[in-house]
Amino acid sequence: MTKNFAMLPVIVLLTLLTAPIIIMYVYLVLDTFSNTPPGALFPTSFTLEHWRFLVDPSIAGNVWIPTLNSLIFASCCTVIVLTISSTGGYALSRLNMPFRSFFLGGLMVLHAFPAVTLLIGIFLILNFSGLYNTLTGIVLVKAALTLPLGVWIMKGFYDAVPWEIEMAGVQDGASRFTVWRRLVLPQIRPGFVALGAFAFLEGWGEYLLPRVLAPSADFRVLSVFLATLSGPDTANYDFSLFQAVGLFYTLPVLLLFLIFQNRLMNIFNGGTKG
């Protein structure tokens, strides 16, 4: 009882600090389902007019094509990151590789570079390889930029798995691949799932790479589609429509966070052995 009472000031302080953010999001949701006259504090009527873009392409264009592009983009990035990170992290954790420490340090250096500083080089490579203005090109670039952190995270989870589990499988005659797939991989499943959710959210929220490296409308993702709603004249665009599309864009993020929030918060707890 005393402990709960001691936490009361902290809870009150955190509530006061987060109250403006909570109020802002409440008004965001209310505005997408209501009409509020200019200058009014509260909405005056309920409406679904702002969500008609889901069924009427004439309002803002076909939102489902960018949504499908975003889903493909994020899903492909997730598959690539999980496949390479789960195998690369295992190799760095278990195999006696030459220059292993140097390679681990290089991973962190690669992750430290912001994507915007690499855009010119990436553009030249994609243009030379014929992957510029393609969905495949931006998938490969985004996956490559996420891989250093993914490999590092998976290595940390593998470091926490006891060697005895692998040795028992090898002594029973199983191959190294079978031991990894059937014995080791289930042990790091929380990290595997957390990295998958993290990679998907990274791909879903990406704006810069699709906007610059795939400017064609055929490969427009939902983040770029949302940015184009404002148009060149930012004074006369439909702000309620913009809010509704933005809320639609954030729904998968909120859903994934609610499902995987515990694992996402513990993604860096897998270990940091070098």
Note the pLDDT tens digit of each residue in 232-265.
555 566 788 888 899 999 998 888 888 877 766 6
Looking at residue 85, its pLDDT comes to 93
Find, among 105, 180, 195, 104, the residue nearest to 143 by Cα: 195
Q: Among 72-86, 110-124, 153-167, 220-234, which is the least confidently predicted range?
A: 220-234
Looking at residue 82, its pLDDT comes to 95
- Sign of the four-CA dihedral 32, 33, 39, 40: negative
3-state secondary structure of 46: strand
Determine the residue type at 80.
I
Find, among 204, 202, 184, the residue nearest to 264 by Cα: 202
17-23 average pLDDT score: 87
162-179 average pLDDT score: 83
- Contacts of 265-269 spanning 24+ positions with Cβ under 8 A: 266/190, 266/194, 267/153, 267/191, 267/194, 267/195, 267/198, 268/153, 268/156
pLDDT band at 123; cut points 50, 70, 90: very high
d(CA 191, CA 266): 8
Looking at residue 27, its pLDDT comes to 83
18-26 average pLDDT score: 86
pLDDT digits (tens, 9 = 90+) for 73-102: 999 999 999 999 999 999 888 888 777 788
CB 199 within 8 A of CB 82: yes
Mark residue 91 as left, alpha or beta (left: phi above 0; alpha: psi -120 to 50; beta: remaining).
alpha
Q: Residues in the chain, how many?
A: 274
Whether 272 has a pLDDT exceeding 50, the answer reads: no
Whether 268 has a pLDDT exceeding 90, the answer reads: no
Highest mean pLDDT among 129-133, 175-179, 216-220: 129-133
CB 196 within 8 A of CB 230: no
pLDDT band at 176; cut points 50, 70, 90: confident
CB 137 within 8 A of CB 210: no
Strand partners, 35: 45
Burial class (CB in 10 A: 0-12, 13-18, 19+), 119: middle
Looking at residue 273, its pLDDT comes to 44
Selected residue with higher pLDDT from 140 and 20: 140
Looking at residue 42, its pLDDT comes to 74
195-223 average pLDDT score: 90
Q: Among 130-134, 141-145, 194-198, 268-272, which is the least confidently predicted range?
A: 268-272
Looking at residue 248, its pLDDT comes to 93
Tokens standing for residue 40: 């009014």
